[in-house]
Chains A and B, each alone.
Chain A
Amino acid sequence: MAKVIMTVDDSASVRQMVAFTLKGAGYTVVEAVDGKDALSKLAQTQINMMITDLNMPNLDGIGLIKGVRAMPAYKFIPIVMLTTESQDSKKQEGKSAGATGWIVKPFKPDQLLAVVKKVLG
């Protein structure tokens, strides 16, 4: 069965790009527009991995990662954060919240797939 990946981003174009790339590689993609939306969708769908932006309204990426890690079913799933900030502080904050890895924006589809493959197998 295809693995399900949730992409969380307030930017429709980023979601579209992530979704398109992942679908092309055979994954099933669920989209969420911000952290709050993501958490509510997690209650209904089972996912295998999450790719989330950090800067989002309502609930930002860091908050989302903390929220996801608090859910027993998602304690150990891979979570990759998208960020334009390559400063260590933000990455560190994400890591301590429980992110598995990161992708620095802008990225190309094959870079995204390489990271997904790396953390999801």
Chain B
Amino acid sequence: MIGEDDGLDAGREAFKEEAAELLTELETSLLELEEHPTDEDLIGRVFRAMHTVKGSGAMFGFDDIAEFTHEVETAFDMVRMGKLAVTKELTNLTLRARDQIRTMIEASEGKATVDHNVSKSIIGSLQLLTRGGQAKEVQGQESGETPAKKPSKTDSADGAHSITYRIRFKPAADLFVTGTNPILLLNELRQMGSSMVIAQTDAITRLEEFNPETCATYWDIILTTTHSANAIKDVFIFVDDMCDLHVEVVDEEGEYDEGEGYMKLGEILAARGDVKIDELKKLLGKQKKVGEILVDAGIVDSGHIESALAEQQHIKEVREQRQKTADGAASIRVPSERLDKLVDLVGELVTVQARLSQTAAINGEVLLTSIAEEVERLTWELRDSTMSIRMLPIGTTFSKFKRLVRDLSNDLGKEIQMTTDGAETELDKTVIEKLNDPLVHIIRNSIDHGVERPDVREAAGKPRMGTVHLSAGHSGANVLIKIEDDGAGLDKERILKKAIDNGLVAPDAELSEKEIFGMIFAPGFSTAAKVTNVSGRGVGMDVVKKNIDALRGIVEVKSKKGAGTTITLRLPLTLAIIDGLLVKIADEVFVIPLAVVEECVELSKKDIERTHGRHVSNVRGVLIPYIRLREHFLIDAEEPEMEQIVITEVEDKKVGFVVDYVIGEHQTVIKTLGRVFKDIEGVSGATILGDGTVALIMDIPSLVRSVARHEPAIAEAVGV
């Protein structure tokens, strides 16, 4: 942390001043204490002075003072508790100790030297006094005086060795009176590994008897982590006397892998003590699921069953995952065309299923409806598993770049390492394939223009070795891929100048940082003063933007001069299916990708009058420009009295789209419009609706760009 040292220095100064005051006060108190050896107030004052000198001293690095003062504090703690009397000997020793402390403080400023023999002699005499009185107590206290507890610092059990624990955390009813929020403790556990948390609510009373100030819920947690059981118990350190806490190992890598099957539900419940084995056996004659039998019999409530099932499931997953990583041969290779074919078929099935559901809804026949519902469920399951087959970890792509980074940095005489994160993140196969080129361009740019030469880096106070960090992770229905470098960062002025020189922006244009950074993706743009054989031919970054656009993704650039650049690619998980919002204009139905939709508001004729025909809408005090799709799409039909605006947000710009009305959400199988329409602006594809008709999927960013070209108001609003 920057400035931490400053804070510490200021603290040290404050400590010295404070200690000087305390020592003066201590002297006075001690002298008075000699007169009134039983005055509790005086004893308290002496104790607090020592207590503070010791505590603060240790905190600001005066360990010798803290250690020394500890002995005096111990003595006065005993006095306070009536275990030691204030004698002339004690006050004498304490006064000497006080002088010694002052010398030690002065020594820290180089104004004096400490005679360690004096320290030793004082400590020795004090110990003689205190141990003479209560040797046992003192010892206990010393062992208790461990240097600072670390309640939340968790120690690792053993590197990558992962253990699954079954934890039951049952807080006392009055947990809340100590200001403890149990959710925070559960969150802390969650951060330790992969977990399942099941709240047990069987102790919650009926509403009329319910007391919100007591904690009636308890939790079962199944946690797979590399941390030790003690680390888990440490999470609950503040509440260990206010809860029942059970931590048991239920699965351990290397321990349970061979042979042993999963524990049956009944076994888990029995192991947890939720049910007795003999009760269970008595009931097992019946031909129902164990869980149902137990609930029916009132022996266990459903929360416990759920928890045990979760454990079963979790362990199964953990083991399967381990199996997967350990046993690569358990997969088969399939030509990707077959997968594509499968996806097409599923897409068709989804469409037909939608028709079936619609027909069933119109028909109203109960049997047909139930069949349609069943087909719908199966279809979605089939769809999800088909999509998951197409998912591949991005790691293989990442590792390819290691070589690229190595070779390029050698060529350029730079020292660059590549680190990666989230290599296991899964993405649609097609997306991964299409990501390769953009990633190559971005990484090349980072190495060539971003990371500086070792000597330049050294001069700037950075490590010689530069880093390019590639990471991937999920964010909702998107995958984020980040390419970070710790290089020189983007030069705003130079980019702007270049953009003006190349005629990409007007010389007097006022651009935000984001817009300026966006310039690097403009066709024919390159800021490199020198053309190298790596990059800098002015092609590359515009290709990146194009490719990412084609994947319905978004590129974001963040950069800090001197500190580095981060390029974030936000991509949809899959190309084949999106969540869409169905809207209607006259008889035409369109799909707006739900990912860009912010909200829908109404637009009345009166609203239009109020803005004097300007295409802006006032949404809670914010003016949002809108596009009349009816006009843009040249749909020749009367608009209804009340229209609706679908407000979208792309790259932080809000634009509304006026439609007749919003039908609702729709899972959309994306169909390409084919080569004939490949360059149509504002439309990215089509989908087939439940009634078999085709609806177009709008490409909002391209639509906005297209409209902006002939509508100055939109152009101004979105800064195109």
What residues make up the interface of A, taking CB atoms closer than 8 Å to B?
A: 10-14, 16-17, 20-21, 24, 55-57, 69, 75-79, 82, 84-87, 92, 95, 98-109, 111, 114-115, 117-121
Contacts and interface: CB of A to CB of B under 8 A. Distances in A.
Interface string B441-480: 0000000000000000000000000000000000000000
Nearest to B51: A55
B interface, size bucket: 35 or more
B238 interface: yes
B531 interface: no
Contacts of A69: 177
Contact of B3 (A24, A57, A117): A24
Contact of A20 (B11, B44, B48, B235): B11
A106 B148 CA distance: 6
Interface string B24-53: 000000000000000000001101100110
A13 B7 contact: no
Given A101-B237, A115-B151, A12 B181 contact: no
Contacts of B188: 118
A13 B66 contact: no
13 contacts: A10-B52, A13-B60, A16-B11, A20-B10, A24-B3, A56-B48, A57-B45, A76-B177, A95-B178, A95-B241, A98-B177, A105-B148, A118-B238
The B contact surface, by secondary structure, is: helix
A13 B14 CA distance: 5
A68 to B, nearest CB: 9
A9 B179 CA distance: 20
B59 A75 contact: no
A101 to B, nearest CB: 4
B60 A114 contact: no
A111 B134 CA distance: 33
B59 A17 contact: yes
Contact of B146 (A86, A100, A103): A86
A78 B179 contact: yes
B15 interface: yes
Given A17-B11, A57-B48, A100-B179, A106 B55 contact: yes
Contacts of B180: 78, 100-101, 119
A108 B148 contact: yes
Given A20-B7, A21-B7, A86-B146, A102 B56 contact: no
Interface string B157-198: 000000000000000000011111101110110000000000
Contacts of B309: none
B430 to A, nearest CB: 41
Contacts of B241: 92, 95
Nearest to B238: A101
Nearest to A79: B179
A98 B179 CA distance: 7
Given A95-B241, A98-B179, 14 more contacts: A13-B60, A20-B10, A21-B7, A24-B7, A55-B48, A57-B45, A78-B180, A100-B179, A100-B238, A107-B59, A111-B153, A117-B152, A118-B152, A119-B238
Contact of B73 (A10, A56, A84, A106): A84
Given A10-B48, A11-B52, A109 B4 contact: yes
Taking each of B52, B145, B241, which has the highest tally of chain A beta carbons within 10 Å of its own beta carbon?
Answer: B52
B333 interface: no
A3 to B, nearest CB: 13
B141 interface: yes
A24 B148 contact: no
Nearest to B174: A98
Nearest to A69: B177
A119 B184 CA distance: 7
The 8 tightest CB contacts between A and B, nearest first, are A106-B58, A101-B238, A105-B55, A13-B15, A20-B7, A114-B152, A100-B179, A106-B59
Contact of B144 (A17, A21, A56, A86): A86
B530 interface: no
Contacts of A111: 148-150, 153
B238 A102 contact: yes
A46 to B, nearest CB: 15
B102 interface: no
Contacts of B14: 12-13, 16
Interface of B: 1, 3-4, 7, 10-11, 14-15, 17-18, 44-45, 47-48, 51-52, 54-60, 66, 73, 77, 140-141, 144-153, 176-181, 183-185, 187-188, 213, 235, 237-238, 241-242
B51 to A, nearest CB: 5
Contact of B55 (A84, A118, A121): A84
A20 to B, nearest CB: 4
Given A24-B4, A101-B238, A119-B238, A16 B10 contact: yes
A16 B14 CA distance: 8
A85 to B, nearest CB: 8
Contacts of A115: 151-152
Given A10-B48, A16-B10, A95-B178, A121 B149 contact: no
A104 B148 contact: yes
Taking each of B1, B3, B150, which has the highest tally of chain A beta carbons within 10 Å of its own beta carbon?
Answer: B150
A98 B58 contact: no
A14 B153 CA distance: 22
B150 to A, nearest CB: 6
A93 to B, nearest CB: 13
Nearest to A20: B7
Contacts of A85: 77
Nearest to B48: A55
Nearest to B183: A121
B39 to A, nearest CB: 14
B214 to A, nearest CB: 12
Contacts of A99: 178-179
Contacts of A11: 18, 52, 55-56
A76 B176 CA distance: 6
Nearest to B242: A95
B643 to A, nearest CB: 38
A114 B150 contact: yes
A48 B66 CA distance: 32
B59 A13 contact: yes
Contacts of A106: 55-59, 66, 147-148
B181 A84 contact: no
A25 B1 CA distance: 10
A99 B237 CA distance: 13
Contacts of B140: 87
Contacts of A102: 238
Contacts of A107: 59, 148
